[in-house]
Amino acid sequence: MSNNVMVLCEHVGKRVTDSTYELIGKARELAGAFGGQVEVALFGPADLAEQLGGADVVVNVDDPSLAEYVPECYERALMHVLGEREPRLLLLANATIGLDLGAAISVSWQAPLAAYCVGLAAEGDTLVATCQILGGKIMAEVETEGTKAVATVVGGAFPTEPGQGSGSPEVVTVSVPDLGSVRMSLTQTFEAQGGDVDITSVDMLVSVGRGIGSQDNLETVEELATSLGVPLSASRPVIDSGWLPKSRQVGKSGLKVKPRAYLAFGISGAPEHLEGMRSAELIIACNTDEQAPIFEIAHYGTTVDLFDLVPAIVERVQG
Amino acid sequence: MRIVVPMKAVPDLVEEIELTSDGSGIDREYLKFVLNEWDDQALEEALLVKEAGDAEVIAVGLDSDPDIEQALYAALAKGADKAVKLTGAGEAPDTHARAEMLAGWLGDQGADLVITGVQSPDDLDGQLPPALGARMGLPHVSVVTSIEAGADAGTVRVRQEFSGGRSTELSVTLPAVVGLQAARQSPRYAPISRIRQMMQAGGIEEAPLSPASGTSGLRVRRMYAPESTGHAEMLTGSPDEVAAKIVELLSARGLVKG
């Protein structure tokens, strides 16, 4: 067992993701406290190690079956690397790969898992995690027992800069046996669908959530979007219901937006949504639940019913 | 094909969440519980798979979850072939305990596919689908948005979603566990009258669970509501007054003509 902190590198094509840098930055701090090093597990071609200057060691598994993300291949490779390197802590991003692998690694590697982490600290030998649960309404501060742990970290919880070092990490190559016997294979890849509008490149968005109630009610907010001359975007439930196309989805599994103004109607503010819009310059939220988490990050808020408020805004804009 | 859908009741997030007086957990006594919304998606996708071919759908819940019967009767009303309440789950089991107990029960059920919600709002120690997959030694895929019959017998095609709208299609050999993000269509509605019929018919079976022996290895120090670091400035007044203030904020930034 080492005192090292390991980060699983995620990359889209040839680009290491921001979430990976967020984890490496936090790993630097924790490894310092535990008296270990930062190791980054890199699956696929080793040339990406050039982008991992924030690591002390890059543990590379370059196997053809790891060229693209296939959950079972990654899981086996990661379990093998954990067995070889025995880190104190494994950090995963709480996105698809973390949701796929975190709890499975926890069971197989027999290490506790703290999910939805927004804070991580070392107190002596103890890892203390602060986790955001129940739709962001409750924070849980937990200790992990034992000498190893896994944490899945919410996107945007830590800054990227501390993880973007310019060092030259040692590259250790590891080969993983039996990746040929996996029970799944990648058959197709779909890039993000381009929509009629690019919601990431506009000055203002009118965004709507579950509070809209039904597809018929969309007309109300559509009218506002039209009168302001901006696109309509939405949170996950509206997209999943098929009321608006996927290209209009703001949030973790949709798009990250940073408009000059973001008007949120009937959006409660689940952490997954906030991840996609919290950097907007001006956030105005309308939700009848005064406890809605959206009000924690909005600059201005109101509990006036959206069906009363939206027509009143339209009237003034069209004035 | 036999599909098992494990379902969980979770605190209704619309309600205010009360903590226990010592701050170590959620006060469950007065809390309203509802079906985990991702489990509702999982059930819908299971029913779609059933309708597209030849499958049996079994909804299961744990007796630890308040009002889980309601979700099980609703599942029957929506078209599940069987609903099973698993007993002896103890009090508020965490994900690791759930996975261990469900894996024990599933061991001799001959399920080809286990479909459950990708996450639940209170799974502090991680998500059920991968924990269950690892426990059972089965392939598992999460953040899935569709499941369809595969090209080869004994396989399914699943679509897995990533940030930014990218997705992939995987061919997965059965038996397997799938964590569902969203079904191909909105979860169907079960009329109250139909749920009542199911309740009167008493269609829920019961089966005992072996208690979990392992723990998650997490020790909760405290739970708390997040401090308001930068709460929104609340705009009050009549809809017209609030609308006026919003338009003023936007026009001050040149975003609308004032």
Mean pLDDT of chain B: 94
pLDDT, residue B229, reads 67
Mutate to test the interface with B, among A133, A207, A288, A315 (most CBs of B within 10 A): A133
The mean pLDDT value for A11-23 works out to 93
Q: Is the pLDDT of residue A167 over 60?
A: yes
What's the confidence (pLDDT) of residue B60? 98
Residues of chain A with CATH 3.40.50.1220: 199-318
Q: Would you list the DSSP string of A37-81?
A: -EEEEEES-GGGGGG-TT-SEEEEE--GGGSS--HHHHHHHHHHH
- A210 shares contact with chain B (CB less than 8 Å): no
Q: Using the beta-carbon criterion (under 8 Å), do B17 and A138 form an inter-chain contact?
A: yes
For chain B, the structural domain boundaries read: 2-208, 227-258
Q: Does B175 sit behind a cis peptide bond, omega within 30 degrees of 0 on the bond before it?
A: yes
Is any Cβ of chain B less than 8 angstroms from the Cβ of A94?
A: no
What pLDDT, on a 0 to 100 scale, did the predictor assign at position B228? 65
pLDDT band at B28 (very low <50, low <70, confident <90, very high): confident
Q: Please tell me if residue B223 touches chain A, with a CB cutoff of 8 Å.
A: yes
Choosing among B233, B242, B251, which should be mutated to test the A contact, i.e. which has the most A CBs within 10 A?
A: B242
Q: What's the CATH fold of domain A5-181?
A: Rossmann fold (3.40.50)
Q: Is B19 on the interface with A (CB under 8 A)?
A: yes
> Which pLDDT does position A92 carry in this prediction?
98
Tokens (6 digits) for B83: 């609903």
Task: For helices B95-106 and B128-136, give the axis angle rounded to 10 degrees.
Answer: 40
Which residue from A143, A183, A255 is facing B221, i.e. has the nearest CB? A143
- Residue A13 pLDDT > 90: no
What pLDDT sits at residue B165? 79
pLDDT at position A135, please? Answer: 87
Contact present, A42 and A59 (Cβ < 8 Å): yes
Q: What is the pLDDT of residue A7?
A: 98
Confidence band for A246, pLDDT divided at 50, 70 and 90: confident
Position A177 scores a pLDDT of 81
> CATH 3.40.50.620 region(s) of chain A?
5-181
* Selection from B4, B59, B2 nearest residue B35 by Cα: B59
Torsion of Cα atoms, A244 then A266 then A227 then B186, to 10°: 20
pLDDT at B149: 94
pLDDT per position as a tens digit, A175-221: 988 888 899 999 999 987 777 788 988 999 999 999 999 999 999 99
Q: Do B232 and A95 touch (CB under 8 A)?
A: no
- The CATH code that applies to domain B2-208 is 3.40.50.620
Whether residue B171 and residue A289 make contact (CB cut-off 8 A), yes or no, is no
Does domain A199-318 fall under CATH 3.40.50.300? My reply is no
In chain B the first and final C-alpha atoms are separated, in Å, by 62
